[in-house]
Structure 1
Amino acid sequence: MSTSKVVIVTGASQGIGAATVQAFLARGHRVVANARSIAASDHPNLATVAGDIGDAQTAKRIAETALERFGRIDTLVNNAGIFIAKPFTQYTSDEYEAINGVNLDGFFHITQRAIAAMEQQGSGHVVTITTSLVDHANSNVPSVLASLTKGGLNAATKSLAIEYAKAGIRVNAVSPGIIKSPMHAPQTHETLASLHPVGRMGEMSDIVDAILYLDAASFVTGEILHVDGGQSAGH
């Protein structure tokens, strides 16, 4: 267990988050998994914390669970996010607040607590899932609130990487294209595949592999790693 890390994963009940949890567990790491609705686990290396990541008290419970059960926090995967694609003038105030609540408040509260613990250890890694739409706007997928929030997280990633570099804490992001996950109905896959220069959607394993790479890449910090089938390079 000397090489086993303690990893927090948000948005962990399905899709990329659930796949990330399983990947870290398969490598012998210990995981604290969070989602609004997530079942309790009897796995010795897995603790689950149900709750809204946008709520500061949820973040508090996640961090406390990691420290009390496993003794430290080595990696935080900020995966939780809300994505709503619609014309800018049609967003409602409720949608705006919900997206900001998860994408920004959720990032702020748990990252602040995780970095505080990492500072005490003198090491740690934060990786955040953003979106290639920040760099590659597409009129077929109008999504300004994703760009507003996830673009801010890309900028925060670089800022935190510099702020905490000498503290031994790395901060990176994975910027996906459109991934074949429960978010997208199968009948939409052909159209969504065509939005990528490589002609296919990404697999959840593509994003998990990127997270695992960044977690092991000790000389990489402040990186926005595009895993997007060429979208960020343009058409």
Structure 2
Amino acid sequence: MNTVQKVAIVTGASRGIGAALVPAYRELGYAVTATARSLEESSDPDVLTVSGDVAEPGVGARIVDATLSRFGRIDTLVNNAGVFVAKPFTEYTDEDYDLVTGVNLRGFFETSRSAVAAMLSRDGGGHVVNLSTSLVDHASSQAPSALASLTKGGLNAVTRALAIEYAARGIRVNTVALGVIRTPMHPPETYEGLAASHPLGRMGEIDDVVNAIVYLENAPFVTGETLHVDGGQSAGR
């Protein structure tokens, strides 16, 4: 009987979707490294907390190194950390660009590069899950967000590229593209208007996203997929 405990890394784990993914992976039997810019140490010996901003050079590698030192392996990386800044294109500043690309692209690149290298160092493969947005496929004049499309669209594309590059080594790569999810980033007074943007007539819940990621974790024949969790938004209106 194989008793090796699998290990997942969840970025952006201090609140919202990331915070909910930590107990979800524990329920699957995984040890978890939870990372964010700031978070409290866990009392669970199978949860390692690592503070750090994935936008900063070297932080992604440090998270992976800490995970290997504590648990000895990495099976899954969930690139949940992300930044969304909605503005008309010409109003974006250089600071906006650095912020969004830093988290959404550098954070993905550095953490994934180190995590995939760790997966390749042993037999058994692994899984990378990225968080994207349905705005990449279904742009909206009500939510101008070119930097989200620029960065998250890149994640959709690299998901397919890495899935093919590493399929023969047993490493799967998938993306979950979200509609508007009820998280702390949205004030309650906006809920009614945001719900109307989805054909199903409601906002997504954190559990909708967690369930989708758990599905992908338990779907070994699925790779290179962008799974839309958006209430039908990407299909049309």
Partner AA of 1:187 in structure 2: E
Q: Where do 5+ consecutive residues of structure 2 fail to align?
A: none
For residues 213 and 3 of structure 2, the distance between their equivalents in structure 1, rounded to whole angstroms, comes to 21
For residues 38 and 53 of structure 1, the distance between their equivalents in structure 2, rounded to whole angstroms, comes to 14
For residues 122 and 181 of structure 2, the distance between their equivalents in structure 1, rounded to whole angstroms, comes to 35
Q: Does residue 65 of structure 2 align to residue 64 of structure 1? A: yes
Residue number in structure 2 paired with 1:197: 199
Residue number in structure 2 paired with 1:184: 186
Q: Does residue 138 of structure 2 align to residue 136 of structure 1? A: yes
Residue number in structure 1 paired with 2:209: 207
Residue number in structure 1 paired with 2:36: 35
The offset of 1:39, in angstroms, is 1.2
Partner AA of 1:173 in structure 2: T
The offset of 1:64, in angstroms, is 1.0
Q: Does residue 63 of structure 2 align to residue 53 of structure 1? A: no
Partner-residue secondary structure (3-state), 2:177: strand
User: Cα deviation per residue 1:140-164 (whole Å; 9 max; x = unaligned)?
Assistant: 0110100000000000000000000
- TM-score scaled to structure 2, two decimals? 0.97
For residues 73 and 4 of structure 2, the distance between their equivalents in structure 1, rounded to whole angstroms, comes to 13
For residues 3 and 58 of structure 2, the distance between their equivalents in structure 1, rounded to whole angstroms, comes to 31
For residues 21 and 188 of structure 2, the distance between their equivalents in structure 1, rounded to whole angstroms, comes to 22
Q: Does residue 176 of structure 2 align to residue 174 of structure 1? A: yes
For residues 9 and 110 of structure 1, the distance between their equivalents in structure 2, rounded to whole angstroms, comes to 10
Partner-residue secondary structure (3-state), 1:128: strand
Match runs of 1:1-235 below 5 Å: 2=3, 4-122=5-123, 123-235=125-237
For residues 43 and 160 of structure 1, the distance between their equivalents in structure 2, rounded to whole angstroms, comes to 33
Partner-residue secondary structure (3-state), 2:58: helix
For residues 3 and 225 of structure 1, the distance between their equivalents in structure 2, rounded to whole angstroms, comes to 29
- TM-score scaled to structure 1, two decimals? 0.98
The offset of 1:3, in angstroms, is 5.6
Partner-residue secondary structure (3-state), 1:172: strand
Partner-residue secondary structure (3-state), 1:60: helix
For residues 210 and 129 of structure 1, the distance between their equivalents in structure 2, rounded to whole angstroms, comes to 11
The offset of 1:234, in angstroms, is 0.8
The offset of 1:56, in angstroms, is 3.0
For residues 160 and 60 of structure 1, the distance between their equivalents in structure 2, rounded to whole angstroms, comes to 19
User: Cα deviation per residue 1:53-74 (whole Å; 9 max; x = unaligned)?
Assistant: 1123211221111111111000
Partner AA of 2:21 in structure 1: T
Aligned residues: 235
Q: Where do 5+ consecutive residues of structure 1 fail to align?
A: none
